[in-house]
Structure 1
């Protein structure tokens, strides 16, 4: 977090998170930031996005304060509240007093500075699947970065209004022990082709997607499942996506120059999970992907 970035704890209604606002008057591109099954509130990426001129709201959705302790069900309306909160924040949207004044301001500003209507979303692992769902069902989401997700609804059911999408199951009995205290979860998930009801209808979204996948991801079958999701988009005539696959990278693709971790302790599984990758290729992937992420959000938002 840079010295003049503003950090704002968010406790609005049921929202639990932290908003990071860059230095200056704005308006700034706005992005929702989500992580995966580790739970809690993880702020480092949102802070770093803010240091690059992007207002970022890191949202917790379980395992934090008074939120559910476990991820048993996802309510997409919660994330919609986060989108609405960020979209209406004064330094993210133009402070128009009325529609006539809005059109006047647009007409007098250079084309490149006109703020588009919407926010972005970035997610890793399960968070990546969530931002895909947000793009499919929430029209204000205009740019999405999915980092090593599987582009289907996984783990648990997700509801939105009258809709319920079941979760692609993970089978504990399929965990592979690589050592006395190290587990690979690569084979644990069911094959989504056998459960099409779990597919997220990405073809319904007009957002721009950047799918970042690691070929040596030892946690999820991210390349296989994401390639299938992109194929479904293509079959529906969609071209609003880019898929980047990094050789030698593991599951935890984070902002550039973050330390390489081939395994970490996972709170939900109460074990050490193996994530794959090697230090050189993984680190190079983090540098390249971070550049692409910043470019996408600044171009679209």
Structure 2
């Protein structure tokens, strides 16, 4: 028997929400079987948790960097598995909670516990029938020390601005979510922590904004981009960027297709599409769904678990070589704007995502566009977030739980791979001229 006391070791007790940390367990018996339990309780009392089973080596040590989990919410070597594989707790008041912290200026705590047995299901941990060997808390945050938060209500613009610590100027980006009313602020705070002045932009469902995103003046987004570009803390010789998900990504592409030249330096479109599903306008330009798009047979089904799933066949219409004029956003004609597309092969909203990649590539190639990248992840779902964020396979949208798709560990690994590439892409295209004509 070892005379050492078991303990959890981490290299950082305080870290950013997208930052990798090294976790190990020491002081165990040789080849001892244990379970590592992780839990986060959000401010709204919703809990997220994970469980993983490990076998100590001959010295009584487990290193998540190299040792395999034998079961639980993930298997195999996954250094950040305790966080990335978290699932909503069955004890939550509402099913299908999404990991979402509405006030990113407030840090959150990750509770780590080690039990002296293999535990296969997270539901059995609260029963407290297992021997607790050791525990340790770490703190994660979206806002690095010194990041400032400013509410914006200027002209038509509604949102929250996050500015990095330090003096000088920084590249500027607009962060937009999809079918979520108001603004999700956490990603903008994280972008500020990574050296961007980031505007979490609201565009529907809050304040005095439209109630939905089916009819919008794209001039609103142009106005927001101009506001950010002209901010005293923003360096914008290449314009500003937009990083957005879902319908926000589509509106980002729409904005890039009509904004004044030099205003939008880059767009990162995550799970977005270029076809118009609503009615939009900018000055004398108008976009609306094509006549063929209106004929798509869409079925919205609710399964036995109460989850809403979309069923439709878009392939014959959406993947034409040349989309109908005025029914899509011709972003590819803007050669001074760089584009990154991020898609998942298990997107619950859009089947045939490889076809989206093919179509968009063909459009960019036909326009001889000089600056674009595509990231495609076979097991990723619709909600591709920053690194180490739990998968929201189902999430509440318009007061209903919608199926978003994704399979672990592929979805989590996609986020770990894509997030630093997104940051690098935005930084390079907003601060250098390497991809500009």
Q: TM-score range by the shorter chain?
A: 0.7 to 0.9
Asked if 1:203 corresponds to 2:332, the answer is yes
> Which segment is superposed worse, 222-231 or 157-166?
222-231
The question of whether the paired residues in 2 share the 8 Å contact of 1:183 and 1:271 is answered with: yes
What do residues 197-251 of structure 1 show as CA deviations (whole Å, max 9, x unaligned)?
A: 3221122112111100001111124442342122112122224211110011101
Cα distance, 1:186–1:299 mapped onto 2, change above 3 Å = farther
The question of whether the paired residues in 2 share the 8 Å contact of 1:192 and 1:199 is answered with: no
Cα distance, 1:159–1:91 mapped onto 2, change above 3 Å = same
Aligned counterparts of 2:152 and 2:294: Cα–Cα separation in 1? 32
Cα distance, 1:169–1:7 mapped onto 2, change above 3 Å = farther
> Which segment is superposed worse, 23-32 or 175-184?
175-184
Report the RMSD for the aligned CA atoms in angstroms.
2.0
Aligned counterparts of 2:252 and 2:190: Cα–Cα separation in 1? 19
Cα distance, 1:209–1:250 mapped onto 2, change above 3 Å = same
Question: Per-residue deviation at 1:136?
Answer: 1.6
Asked if 1:90 corresponds to 2:232, the answer is yes
Question: Per-residue deviation at 1:279?
Answer: 2.2
Q: Which has the higher strand share?
A: 2
Partner of 1:135: 256
Taking CA–CA contacts closer than 8 Å with sequence separation of 6 or more, which of the two structures ends up with the larger relative contact order?
1
> Which segment is superposed worse, 195-204 or 158-167?
195-204
Aligned counterparts of 2:151 and 2:200: Cα–Cα separation in 1? 10
The question of whether the paired residues in 2 share the 8 Å contact of 1:169 and 1:189 is answered with: no
The question of whether the paired residues in 1 share the 8 Å contact of 2:333 and 2:369 is answered with: no
Which protein is bigger by CA-based radius of gyration? 2
Partner of 1:164: 286
Asked if 1:149 corresponds to 2:275, the answer is no
Aligned counterparts of 2:257 and 2:356: Cα–Cα separation in 1? 17
Which of 216, 232, 242 is the matching residue for 1:121?
A: 242
The question of whether the paired residues in 1 share the 8 Å contact of 2:298 and 2:312 is answered with: no
The question of whether the paired residues in 2 share the 8 Å contact of 1:186 and 1:218 is answered with: no
Aligned counterparts of 1:5 and 1:60: Cα–Cα separation in 2? 20
Unaligned runs of 5+ in 1: 94-114
Question: Per-residue deviation at 1:35?
Answer: 1.1
SS, match of residue 273 in structure 2:
coil
Q: Give me the TM-score of the superposition, normalised by structure 2.
A: 0.60
Partner of 1:287: 416
Aligned counterparts of 1:83 and 1:256: Cα–Cα separation in 2? 26
Aligned counterparts of 1:170 and 1:19: Cα–Cα separation in 2? 41
Aligned counterparts of 2:318 and 2:378: Cα–Cα separation in 1? 23
Q: Give me the TM-score of the superposition, normalised by structure 1.
A: 0.86
Partner of 1:300: 429
**Which aligned pairs between 1:11-50 and structure 2 lie closer than 5 A?**
11-50=153-192
Aligned counterparts of 2:160 and 2:358: Cα–Cα separation in 1? 33
Unaligned runs of 5+ in 2: 1-142, 431-437
The question of whether the paired residues in 1 share the 8 Å contact of 2:257 and 2:329 is answered with: yes
The question of whether the paired residues in 2 share the 8 Å contact of 1:146 and 1:211 is answered with: yes
Partner of 1:62: 204
Cα distance, 1:170–1:294 mapped onto 2, change above 3 Å = farther
Partner of 2:301: 176
Aligned counterparts of 1:124 and 1:298: Cα–Cα separation in 2? 18
> Which segment is superposed worse, 84-93 or 170-179?
170-179
Which of 186, 190, 214 is the matching residue for 2:344?
A: 214
Q: Which has the higher helix share?
A: 1
SS, match of residue 312 in structure 2:
coil
Question: Per-residue deviation at 1:188?
Answer: 7.2
